[in-house]
Amino acid sequence: MANIKLTNINKSYGSHHIIKDVSLDIKSGEFIVFVGPSGCGKSTLLRSISGLDQVSSGTMEIDNAVVNDVPPSKRGIAMVFQSYALYPHMSVFENIGFALENQGLPRAEIKKKVEAVGEMLQLTTYLTRLPKALSGGQRQRVAIGRAIVRGAKVFLFDEPLSNLDAALRVQMRMEIAKLKRDLPNTTMVYVTHDQVEAMTMADRIVVLQAGRVMQVGTPMELYENPNSVFVAGFIGSPKMNFITGKPADKLKAKTIGVRPEHFEFSKTATDISGTLDYTEVLGSDSFLYVSTPTGMLTVREPGRTQYKTGQKLHLKPIAEHVHRFGPDDNRL
């Protein structure tokens, strides 16, 4: 059990201010996902928690103890790297057991623990192999095994799935979710740029942009009540539509945001009329790309669509699902 508390954390490399005054309260046993575009500082923030990077100012607490000056190995954390960071010259067994060896555990105990973890991750038959003789998914599992075996209170994941192909990514996503279920007391912090991973795995999501926390909340909170244009645009796929001009003025907003599924079609002309440019039919849904005077809008229709390319469409946002944003791009 370990909570993590960040208070006014700043991090600069020379003149580059990467993390700007981040404060965050991560509860014990929570699965937190840091999400944001590349360069937003999410990995740096994770590395600051791990201790691999020193913070420039602010306090970092793990399990109610300030850890600013505590070395990574003493923070009770384990980390899974994007590249897996397996030791190429060591067998799977040695890779998983290295941390235990450093703790000075007797051989027999290391063997017992590594084999238990190997079994848990279906690696038993691979324990004598070198990492280069494993598939991507197996390597990922070894990296996770290395974290589990230490019994760390906090797991840090740095984009662990971005090197895997799409099918394997979905599978590993489920395995990590299952791992979280099996280790309910372990706090997990997970960094990704993929909002689908964030939405599907997180208890709470932290959206970062340019080193600042934009919003913290459960996936549905962020989806339903984004507090800024940035969060609204980042969470959800396809992206939320942003409309300015007359339809926004009418609602006393600078910008209004409407998700693709929150449009109705009208028989008569509306504020938002345009021609259907292009359709993507996925079977379960269809995406209609409508070119309007305020720009290209995406509309989601369940199942197949009856509309033809080139057809004139009149769109009407469903009033209760319209997000209003002011001139500062914040929610009104």
Residues in touch with other proteins (CB under 8 A): 50, 52, 71-73, 77-79, 81-83, 85-90, 98-99, 102-103, 146, 150
159: how many CB neighbours lie within 10 A of its CB? Answer: 21
For other proteins, the closer CB: 23 or 54: 54
**Cα 78 from Cα 188, distance rounded (Å):** 10
CB of 318 to other proteins, least distance (A): 47
**Cα 128 from Cα 273, distance rounded (Å):** 64
Centroid of chain to Cα 219: 10
For other proteins, the closer CB: 6 or 149: 149
CB of 100 to other proteins, least distance (A): 9
CB of 199 to other proteins, least distance (A): 27
For other proteins, the closer CB: 23 or 73: 73
For other proteins, the closer CB: 18 or 240: 18
CB of 82 to other proteins, least distance (A): 8
Q: Compute the residue count for the chain.
A: 332
DSSP class of 74: G
∠ Cα 59 62 63 (to 5°): 130
For other proteins, the closer CB: 47 or 262: 47
For other proteins, the closer CB: 134 or 216: 134
For other proteins, the closer CB: 69 or 320: 69
For the chain, the 3-state helix, strand and coil shares in percent, each to the nearest 5, are 30, 35, 35
Q: What is the CA radius of gyration of the chain?
A: 24
CB of 85 to other proteins, least distance (A): 4
CB of 101 to other proteins, least distance (A): 9
* Beta strands per DSSP E along 124-218: 154-158, 187-192, 204-209, 212-217
Sheet holding 295-302, edge to edge: 263-266, 312-317, 272-281, 285-292, 295-302
CB of 50 to other proteins, least distance (A): 7
CB of 73 to other proteins, least distance (A): 4
For other proteins, the closer CB: 130 or 322: 130
Q: Which residue shows structure tokens 């769109």? A: 315
Cβ-in-10-Å burial (0-12, 13-18, 19+) of 284 comes to exposed
What contacts 75, CB < 8 A, 6 or more positions away?
A: 50, 51, 62, 67, 154
